[in-house]
Structure 1
Amino acid sequence: MAGEPDGSHESWVGGHQKIVEALREMAGKKDLPFLVAEETLWLLDGYASSMSQLPGTVQQAQHYLDYFHIEEPELLPEKMLELFGALKGRASNWFNLRNSSKAVAESLIKLAESIQAQGEEVVSCACETKALGTEPEKWGALNLPEAIEAYDKAIVSKMASSFTVLKTPIQHFQASIEHVQAGLAEFRDEARFKLMPVVQEKMRALNRLQRARQFELSLMEFPQSKSYVHPAASGRACAVLKVNLGKMEAGLSIGVAGVGSIHSLWQGIDAYIDQSEHRLLSMETQEQLANFMVQYRIFLAQWAGIKMFAQEKLLSFEAVQ
C-alpha cells in the first residue's frame, strides 16, 4: 500500500521530524544557554557592549585599573591593555556574527518559501496523473500497479525537473550557514583557548599579589612615588581589579556556552539541508509514485514548520538590540 516507506524514506522523514522537534525543544528551554533565545542574546549583547568600552590607551588603562604600577608583570597597565584590546576586538566580532546569524534565519525563511512554492507545483502535477487522481488525502490508501503509464511518466518527468529550481536557494543557504559556522567556531575557540586562559592567569597573579606581604612593604618604602600605589589605596585597587577580571571571565563563559549552542543548532540544520537536498535531487524514479507523494507532502508540512521556527528566531534577533 502506498505510504509505507522503505528504510531510506523512513530515515529521511524521521530525521526531518526529529530536527523540528529538537529545535522547538531547545528554543523553549530558558535555562539552556541557547544563542537565539532572547535572554542569551541580551546577555551576549550586554557583554559585547561592556567589552567595547574597555580602555584603549595606557592612560585610560591606568585610570580604569586605578594604579600606575604594580609588582605583578601580568597586571601592569601595559599588559592589561593588551587583554583589553583583544576583548574589544572580540566584542566587535560578536556584533558581526550576530548580523550573520540573523541573515541565516532570513535565508532559511527564503529557502522554506522556495521549497513550498516548488512543492505546490509538484503536488499540482501529481494531481494530473491517472494513477493518483486529484485527492491527495487519499493517495496513501491507493493500491497501484507496478507499471506507470506513459502519460503519467511524462508528468513524473516534469515533476522531477522542477526540483532543479531548488539548487540555487539551497546552495545560497549552505554558503551562508558555512560562513556563520566558521565564524562562530572561531569566536567560541578564541574565548576558550586564548582569552580565558589569559584572564585566569591574571586572576592567579592578582591572588599572588594579595597574598604577598612583600608587595605592601615595597610600597611603604616609596610613599611619595607616583609610580606605585599608595598602601592605603592598594586594597581598593586590587578589589576593583578582581571585580573587573571576574566580569571578564564570566562574560567569556557566557560567550563560549551561547555560541556553542548556536553552533550546534546550525550544524543540525546544515545536516538537515544536506539530507533534504540529497533526497530532493534524487527523487526522479518513476516507481512508487504514490509513496513518493505521501512522503513528499510530509516533507512540505515539515518545511512549513521550519519556516515558522525561522520566523520566530528572526523576531528574537530584531527584538533584542
Structure 2
Amino acid sequence: MRRPLIRRLTAFAAAALLVPTLASCGSDEDDAGLVIYSGRNENLVKPLLDELEEAVGTTVAVRYGDSAELSAQILEEGDRTKAGLFFSQDAGALGALSKQGLLQKLPPATLNQVEPAFRGSNGDWVGTSGRVRVLAYDPKQVTKVPDSVHELVKPEWKGRIGFVPTNASFQSFVTGMRVLEGDEATRTWLKGLKANEPKAYENNLKVMDAVGSGEVALGLVNHYYWYEQVAEKGEDKVGAKIHFLPGGDPGALVNTAGVGIVKGSDQADVAQKAVDFLLSKKAQTYFADETKEYPLAAGVTTTTKGLPPLKSLDAPKIDLGKLESLQETLKMLQDVGLV
C-alpha cells in the first residue's frame, strides 16, 4: 500500500490549474507493468521510451504532460496514483515530490553514477541529462554580448529581447534567481525586464528563429536549441550564435531532467530497472546525440561539436531540488505582467 498523502494540495500543486489537461499514450495504464508520468516532450523521448519496454521486460504506459502538472497530479492523487515512475523535465518538479516524501530512496549504486549536484539531496531522484541556460544573439546587431542577465534591464536592450515566459525552463531560471538572490531582487529584475518590452514567443524554437532572422537581438533559451538547429541546417544558415554566461550568473543555470520512483508503488522493482536503463550508456548516448543535452552518468561524454564540457561551465551553485517553488514564481510573473 502507498503511504497516505500528508497534504492533499500544496502551493506547487495549484500549478495544475494553470496548465492543459494531460495526454496519455502508449499501453493502457491498467494493464501496464510500468506507468510513467513523463514531463519530457514526447517528440524528444518517445524513441527512447519505446526501447525501455524491452529493457525492463514488461509493458510500459507513458502519460505525457507538463512536468509541474504531472507532479501536482501525483501530489493530488496520493495513494490512488497509477504512476510508478516520474520522468521530469526539470529538477523543481522532482523537488516538490521529494519535499512531500513521495519519492522512494534510490540505491547508492544508482545515485553514485551521477555527480551530487545533479541528484536529489534526499537521495530519492537522480538526473538523467542536463541543459544550460544561454543567451542566443544576432552577431549583426550585437558586438558585445552581455555577461549577465542583469544587463538585460539596461535601456539599450529595450524591445530587442525574445523569451518564452510560459516555458518551464524560463520559469525554473526565475525560480533559481529567487533562490540565489531572493524574491525582492528577482521581482526588481523582472520589473526591469518588463519595462524593456521583451517580445514573448510561444516556444524556444521561435525565439531562435527570431534571433536568427534579426527580429530580436537577444534570446533567452536553453543551449540545445541552437545545437539542434546547427545540426539540422549548418551553423552558417542558423544566423544566431549563443553565449555561455560566466561568473556563476543566475542566467547560466544548469538544470537537469531526472527520474524518481513513486514511493509505495507496486511497480518499484520494474521502475528501478527503468532508472538503470535511463542511466545506461545507450540512453545517455541518446541524450548526447539526439537531444544535444549533457549526459550525466559517469563514463559518457557529449558528442556535440563545439559544446563545452559540463565541468567547464561557470554555473551558479544551487541545490536544484529547491527549484520546487514554481507557484510562487508564477505568481511573481503574473504580478509584474510577464504572463
Normalising by structure 2, we get a TM-score of 0.24
Larger radius of gyration: 1
Higher strand share: 2
Structure number having the greater helix percentage: 1
For CA contacts below 8 A with separation 6 or more, give which structure has more relative contact order. Answer: 1
TM-score normalised per structure 1: 0.25
